[in-house]
Amino acid sequence: MSAYFSSALGITWRYLHNLYTRPAMFIPSLLFPLFFLAAFAGGLSAVGDAPNFDYYDFTAFQFCFILLQASALAGVFAGFSIAADFEQGMGRRMMLATRPRSAIVLGYGIGAAARLGVTWTVVTGVALLGGMKVSGGGLDLAGMYSLALLSNVAALLFSAGIALRFRSLQAGPLMQMPVFIILFLAPVYVPQALLTGWIEPVASANPVTALLDAARSLMAGEPTGILAAYAVAFGMIAVLGIWAITGLRRAETAG
């Protein structure tokens, strides 16, 4: 068992070392959420004045979306690294050195979660500097960040499933686009009650909506739908975990 975790942590260390010694890799992933935070919270703040927009602070409203988005994309970027390692042959060497091989996915998973520390600190710091008001208490905020962590794990497992099946960076758009799309099909700009047209039923059926609504309620200090959000998050992780492990089996079969 200790060999299993030792392998996983070795992969985590390698992943984080590669990430933080190559600014070209981690700076874009840091700038991306900041860019969206500035564009949405800055450019759309007047939307908070629309009738029936009943959230207490527009920047905080957008921050919750950006937090989930940044966390999920950190998982996707770890998927890129898996694909790159397999493309360059490193993946095969990892396969030879680890057993059971799920330690590979676990290692990248821990790495993807660990990089969140920097992302959360920067995004939260910039939002606070930008005047974001926080209404939730410590426990509420812990709940909100843990939902973001679960979205990171789900996105990592999804991307790992793709990366291990294709074992090429060319599959990058297949990892990124679905995550991007599902995030934007949630109530990004306004509460769900203010959505109109086709996006309203789509957002209702979108599992990310439950996470986003719960995160926003925790930020406001008025938690609602928390159990449902955690159930959705763990459900997604269970399904995507199977997706990632079957991807690993495919990679094993391919040699």
Partner 1 sequence: MAGRSVVRLVRQPAAVVPSVIFPLFLLAVNTGGLNSATQIPGFPTDSYITFALGFTFIQAAIFSTMNAGQALAQDIENGFFSRLMLTPMRPSALMAGQLAGLVMLGQMQALLYIAVGYATGAQFEAGFAGIVVLAVLVSIISVGFGGIGLIMALRTGSGEAVQGMFPLMFVLLFFSSMALPRDLIEQDWFRFLATINPVSYLIEAIRSLMIVGWDPEALALGFGIAIILAVATIASAAYTLRGRMLKS
Residue 149 CB, shortest distance to partner 1, in Å, is 26
Q: Would you say 118 or 194 has its CB closer to partner 1?
A: 194
Q: Which of 3, 142, 181, 227 binds partner 1 (CB under 8 A)?
A: 181
Residue 28 CB, shortest distance to partner 1, in Å, is 7
Residue type, 150: L
Residue type, 89: G
Q: Would you say 197 or 255 has its CB closer to partner 1?
A: 197
Q: Would you say 139 or 181 has its CB closer to partner 1?
A: 181
User: Would you count residue 42 as binding partner 1 (CB under 8 A)?
Assistant: yes
- Cβ neighbours for 239, distance < 8 A, ≥ 6 positions apart: none
Residue 220 CB, shortest distance to partner 1, in Å, is 19
User: Would you count residue 129 as binding partner 1 (CB under 8 A)?
Assistant: no
What separation, in Å, do the N-terminal and C-terminal C-alpha atoms of the chain show? 24
- Scanning 81-89, 147-155, 182-190, 237-245 for contacts with partner 1 by CB under 8 A, the matching segment is 182-190
Helices (H), the chain: 2-20, 23-37, 43, 58-87, 90-97, 102-114, 116-129, 138-166, 172-184, 199-205, 207-219, 226-254
Tell me how far CA of residue 58 lies from CA of 40, 49, 166, 173, 216, in angstroms: 9, 9, 40, 31, 11
- Scanning 31-39, 72-80, 215-223, 231-239 for contacts with partner 1 by CB under 8 A, the matching segment is 31-39
Closest CA to 83 of 245, 253, 251, 254: 251
Q: Contact residues for partner 1 (CB under 8 A)?
A: 28, 31-32, 35-36, 38-39, 42-47, 49-53, 173, 181, 184-185, 187-190, 194-200
